[in-house]
Structure formats: C-alpha cells, structure tokens
Chains A and B, each alone.
Chain A
C-alpha cells in the first residue's frame, strides 16, 4: 500500500517534528508544566481526524462504531483540554511593582 518513499517521508517528518518538539518544550517554564501537558493533550486529540474519516466513510459496521466512540473520546479531550488550559493560564498573574516593598 505504502511505497517505501512515503515511509521515508513520514520518518523524516517524525524525526524533525520530534526535534522541534524537544527544542520548543525545553524552553517552556516549569511554572507552566501542568498547562503544557493539558495543552499537548488537547493537540494530540487531533487523532480525531482519523476517526472522522472512519465514520464518514462508513466502510463497515465495526469501523463505524469504533470511529464513533473514537470521535467522542477525542473531542472530549479537545474541548476539555482547551477549557482547562485556559482556566489555568488565566490564573497566572504577576505581582504589581507597587506590591513590592
């Protein structure tokens, strides 16, 4: 199905994206590690696109049911993940200079 050149392409993307991930996430302040995890979790739920295709194509009863449950699970991560990340980040406030002695 997949020619070896698409495999190589996919590997390139995976390795390069991994590098970007390491470099970007290394710079995230430990202050924000919890919101980071809930955000990456929401982004990871992009797996929903695979499930959408399964349901939309409805090739078999099994793939339809699996896809349906998968959409529900992933969407709850997207919605819940973004809401909670936003709630957390809203709470982080800096002290006003006036408050310092």
Chain B
C-alpha cells in the first residue's frame, strides 16, 4: 500500500508472483492425465511459497497460534482427503463450505477492524465477499447433506418459493447498500450475513439429486468469486488470481453441466433449476424382453464391438470392479470394449471417470458422449448399467417429455441393447424410458454387481 516497498516486502511480492505462476501452470498441466500429477506438485509448491511469504510479513507476532491452527486444519484435512471415491462429491461440497467459511470469517473480521473507515468501493466488495461466502457456506452444506443422504434428496418446493428467495436476497442487498453508504451502522452487518446464510439453504432446498453436478459447479464458482472479492478487500493480487481461476473453473463446469442437462445457463444461475417435473404417466404394463446371464454372455462373446454405458446406479451397486472383470474377459476374447461417459453420469463433473479409473479401467477406453455417439450404429452391443435418463430416446423425439432436448447417449441405435436394471420402476426423475420396450432391447433384471458377476462367470467357464 505504501508507494515505496521495503526490501522484505519486495521478496514477499515476488514469492506471491511465483506462486501465482505456479497456480496457473498447475491448472494448465491438468489438461492431460500424463502431465496432471506435475500440476499437483506445482500447486503445492505455490501454496508453500505463498504461506512462507505471508509469514515473513511485518507486524505478525502470534506465530504460535498460527502454527496450532495450521496443524489443526491439517489434522482435519487428512481424513477429508482419504474418503472413498463415491464420496468425493459430498467431500467437494463440504470443502466449498470450508473455503467459503474462511472467506466469510476473514471478511467479517476485516469489517469490524476497519469500520467506520471503509470507502464505498471497499464496502461494496466486502459485501459481495460475505454475501457470496455466506450463501456458499449453507448452500454447500445442504448439497453435501443431500449427497450424503443425511437430508432428503427429493426436491422440496412450495408456492411462491422464488418470490421468497428473491425478497430475502433483495433485503440482503438493501442492507449491503445501506452499509456502503453508512459503514458505521455496525449492527446491520450480522443481519446481512444471516440473510445470506438463510438464502443459501433456500437455494438448495428445491434441488433434486439429478441436478447436483450443476449445483456443485455453481457453488464452486461462487466460492471462487467470493475469494476473488476477498483479494480486492485485502489488496492481494495472489488471492484475486486464485479466486478468478477457481471462479472461471466453476463457471465453465456449470455451463458444461447445464448444457448436458439441457437447462439454460441463466435458468441455472437464478436457481430456477430443480422445478419438479410433473410425474410422468404411470406406465401401463408394456411387454419387454428379458434375458438370463447365460444368454447375455453368449451375445456379448459373439460381438465385435461393445459399448458399456455406466450410470450412477452402477456405483451405488458397487459394481465397478465386476465391470472391470467383464471388460478384461471380453477384451481377452478380442472384443473391442469401450465406455460411453455422459457428462452428468456421476454426482459431479467427471465423477464417473474417477469411479472407473479406480476400478483400473484404462482411461483411453473412457469416451465422452460427443465423441462416441456416432459409433453406436456400428456397435453390436450397448450394455447399459445403472443409467436411465441419459439413455432415454424420448429426449430426442418426445416434445412432451420433461427431459426433451437433453443430449443423450444414442444407445438405441446399437444392434442390441442390454439394460441391467433391478425392476421396471422408473428412475430418479420418475420418467418412463421407451428404450426398454424397443425390439432390439433385452432387459437383464437383477442387481448390477451380481448380474455382471454371473456374466463374467459364464464367459470364463464357456471358453
């Protein structure tokens, strides 16, 4: 802030600059799985440099407590870094909450330290910081609760929901404006935070489990933007850069996810997602064809090209490792096996890839939707495991379907479609899937793990 920087100040700023460069490189190296682990190294190095630089600052004396807090955080962080891969979405949501908690607390502390000496600009940014931070804290906790199934996954809606949300948010903004004009009105500040916290809860209440990938991405963007706002308040270039990187990452992922769910981005931004779809007509009993594991194994081993379409149901059934065995068995017989990954196949962006990689399925066999969709007509068997809506041809043809227009995997174009499913109950969104009644579709009824296991046994024994 002073025009002439002291010597140590220059060193600190240079450390911050190096850290910023390392952060950008860290993200750049994430572009490919072969270089991605360098990215972690760069990120860690940048983090250490930044913390060292900060500890060098003049005016710090309570090093003792800093050390205790850092150790405590590390103790909490280790188990959070070692959760099961299926639990990564809720862990991510929780870490958005923690990040936002840090930003909101620092913002609040800065407010009380500086008031009433806060310029209008500073107070505006500080308000953005704590409002975004506050709603991200509770919103992320709600999302984590829904993902962990502590909270009901069904969307909760009531009349005038959007109106209530809007009014709450408007009041929070009105308080912020008042504080910008009269920063000495300290008593208003806690109310602004309280409203932001309530708004975060209300924002997530109407959202169902299927929309979670979008929500997590959006909360990621909010967390990043609030950190960038904190950078403005503290006049920290490093923080502005880190926040801008995180914010743009969250924004890009939100856009990708909302496209994959066929929702307009503005629709998502203003929290209108999660409108409960009118429950589809109760399906009259239409005939389906089903097959046994023996028949399925025979069809699969006679195929040249197989595409497996995994959905989150596969992970729920813990069938990933059996699926890998199936992949191995078929590959050994010379069958070309690939996996078709829909962008919202898991509970967060890219989640399905992680689950399959954990089961040792090579990543070059995991193909994105846009790349693999053209190959279904030349595919002998499409095997759908635990996926439903993302394979529903009604999204292409039926304008009355709630998911009409959503991009789907064109499994129905394969010569034979096999669907592993517990029963004919409609899926998460409660929408009937015409795929199941097609002439080239065989239903394989049973638990995904057990069924795939029986197919593998058949393939092993029959050779």
Residues on A lying within 8 angstroms of B by beta carbon are 1-2, 4, 6-7, 10, 13-14, 17-18, 20-22, 24-60, 62-64, 66-95, 99, 101
Contact = CB atoms under 8 A, between A and B. Distances in A.
A21 to B, nearest CB: 3
Contact of A10 (B36, B232, B353, B364): B232
Given A22-B252, A52-B51, A71 B69 contact: yes
Given A2-B119, A57-B59, 15 more contacts: A1-B122, A10-B237, A27-B28, A29-B33, A34-B88, A34-B354, A36-B350, A41-B223, A43-B43, A45-B102, A46-B238, A52-B60, A72-B76, A73-B105, A75-B72
B118 interface: yes
Contact of B241 (A1, A17, A101): A17
A35 B27 CA distance: 10
Contacts of B246: 21, 40-41, 43-44
A13 B66 contact: no
B95 A7 contact: no
B262 interface: no
Contacts of A74: 73, 98-99, 102
B177 to A, nearest CB: 19
A4 B122 CA distance: 11
Interface string B356-382: 011010111110100000000000000
Contacts of A91: 354, 357-358, 360
18 contacts: A1-B119, A1-B122, A14-B240, A14-B243, A17-B241, A24-B27, A24-B245, A31-B353, A34-B351, A36-B350, A39-B39, A45-B98, A49-B51, A55-B69, A56-B60, A77-B102, A82-B47, A94-B34
B81 A82 contact: yes
Contacts of A13: 237, 240-241, 244
Given A30-B343, A72-B73, A39 B119 contact: no
A93 B357 contact: yes
A67 B37 contact: no
B180 interface: no
A67 B57 contact: no
Interface of B: 1, 19, 23-24, 26-28, 30-34, 36-37, 39-40, 43-44, 46-47, 50-51, 53-55, 57, 59-63, 65-66, 69-70, 72-74, 76-83, 85, 88, 91-92, 95-96, 98-99, 101-103, 105-106, 108-110, 112-114, 117-119, 121-122, 216-217, 220, 223-224, 227-228, 230-232, 234-253, 256, 331, 334-336, 341, 343, 346, 348-351, 353-354, 357-358, 360, 362-366, 368
A31 B30 CA distance: 10
